[in-house]
């Protein structure tokens, strides 16, 4: 009986190991790394008119594909379908400024953090002194715009009870709504506010170096230990060579307000 149990345990371990290696082996045999991107979150990913993508995580995805010795294929996804698309096997790695959260961690793996960030406001520069705190923002008549299905909306609904939350479906044009006065502000990741104030001189990031909360961005992965280990080691080597900082600086550029 003991021998049988031991043999069964060894067999299960071997099967489990084979299954765990399946995704990494599948990528190698396929010759293609499929990366899921929303294409609407600069500086991480942006889908342009001709259907191509650019951004920090597009560059990082190309670097990862090169490290794996395969070609890169970008798979369109959305914030609300991100986990479902990963679970359905539509892509191998999710990139594009994905916040590491415990609810997401229940369903998938994450890489080691790529960037530290947190939620902070961005508003028209003439209004920046009005919205320094959550108490300043959470008042009747204040209009806070947000993209649906992600951590921005989750943060707003958890912290704002009196302000009006305006859900705007097109994250690529959402800051233009603030510029036009259709909303008073947006609360998003600090790194995005730094870029958007550069792209829109009418907007000012409000204390982006002292955000309301603590957050980290990482790469979303299936529950595949060998793939996670490979991605983490690739990230470690990339950091040691300064690649992420160099690539991100190319998109953010110098910002002073």
Give tens-digit pLDDT for 55-90. Answer: 999 999 999 999 999 999 999 999 999 999 999 999
Range of the domain at 41: 25-116+215-252
Least Cα distance to 86 among 107, 70, 101, 72 occurs for 107
Do 78 and 147 have their domain in common? Answer: no
Q: Tell me whether residue 4 is in a domain.
A: no
Q: Are residues 65 and 126 in the same domain?
A: no
**Tens digit of each residue's pLDDT (9 = 90 or more) over 106-152:** 999 999 999 999 999 999 999 999 999 999 999 999 999 999 988 99
Burial of 15 (0-12, 13-18, 19+ CB in 10 A): exposed
User: Whole-number mean pLDDT of the chain?
Assistant: 90
Task: Verify that 201 and 74 share a domain, yes or no.
Answer: no
Q: For the residues 95-110, what does the mean pLDDT come to?
A: 95
Q: How many alpha carbons lie under 13 Å from residue 106 in its C-beta half-sphere?
A: 2
Examine the pLDDT at 15 and tell me if it is beyond 90: no
- d(CA 96, CA 150) in angstroms, rounded, equals 12
Does residue 112 share a domain with residue 100? yes
Same domain, 103 and 167: no
pLDDT at 257 over 80: no
Instruction: Clarify whether residues 168 and 92 are in a common domain.
Output: no
Q: Are residues 222 and 177 in the same domain?
A: no
User: CB of 215 within 8 A of CB of 117?
Assistant: yes
- Indicate whether 101 and 127 sit together in one domain: no
243 occurs within a structural domain: yes
Residue 79 within any structural domain of the chain: yes
CATH number for the domain harbouring residue 181? 3.40.190.10
55 Rama class: left (phi>0) / alpha (psi -120 to 50) / beta: left
CA angle 104, 109, 114 (to 5 degrees): 90
Rounded Cα distance, 13 and 17, in Å: 6
Query: Quick one: CA dihedral 229, 58, 188, 150, positive or negative?
Result: negative
Classify the C-alpha dihedral 162-168-172-174 as positive or negative: negative
Question: Are 111 and 34 found together in one domain?
Answer: yes
The SS3 assignment for 17 reads: helix
Residue 163 domain-assigned? yes
In this structure, is residue 210 part of a structural domain?
A: no
Give the chain's domain count: 2
pLDDT at position 21: 54
Residue 10 included in any domain: no
**pLDDT exceeds 80 at position 48:** yes
Residues 110 and 130 in one domain: no
Would residue 16 count as lying in a domain? no
Domain-located, residue 18: no
* DSSP annotation of 181: T
The owner of tokens 């040691």 is: 240
Q: How far is 60 from 238, CA to CA, in rounded Å? A: 9
In 86-241, beta strands by DSSP E: 93-99, 109-110, 115-117, 119-124, 143-146, 164-167, 185-189, 203-205, 215-221
Residues 62 and 132 in one domain: no
Instruction: Count CB-CB contacts under 10 A for residue 243.
Output: 16
Residues 199 and 124 placed together within one structural domain of the fold: yes
């Amino acid at each position: 009986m003991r021998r049988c149990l031991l043999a069964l345990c060894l067999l299960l371990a071997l099967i489990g190991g084979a299954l765990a290696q399946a995704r990494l082996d599948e990528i190698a045999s396929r010759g293609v790394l499929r990366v899921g991107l929303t294409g609407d979150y600069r500086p991480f990913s942006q889908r342009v008119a001709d259907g191509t993508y650019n951004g920090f995580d597009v560059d990082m995805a190309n670097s990862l594909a090169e490290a794996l010795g395969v070609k890169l294929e970008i798979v369109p996804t959305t914030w609300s379908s991100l986990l479902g698309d990963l679970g359905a096997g539509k892509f191998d790695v999710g990139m594009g400024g994905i916040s590491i959260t415990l609810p997401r961690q229940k369903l998938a793996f994450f890489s080691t953090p790529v960037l530290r960030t947190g939620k902070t406001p961005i508003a028209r520069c003439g209004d920046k002194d009005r919205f320094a705190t959550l108490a300043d923002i959470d008042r009747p008549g204040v209009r806070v715009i947000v993209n649906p299905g992600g951590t921005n909306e989750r943060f707003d609904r958890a912290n704002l009870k009196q302000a009006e939350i305006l859900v705007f479906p097109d994250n690529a044009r959402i800051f233009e709504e603030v510029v036009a006065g259709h909303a008073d502000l947006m609360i998003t990741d600090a790194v995005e506010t730094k870029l958007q104030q550069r792209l829109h001189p009418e907007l000012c990031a409000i204390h982006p170096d002292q955000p309301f909360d603590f957050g980290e961005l990482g790469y979303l992965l299936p529950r595949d230990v060998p793939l996670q280990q490979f991605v983490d080691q690739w990230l470690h080597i990339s950091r040691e060579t300064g690649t992420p900082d160099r690539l991100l600086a190319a998109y953010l550029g110098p910002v002073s307000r």
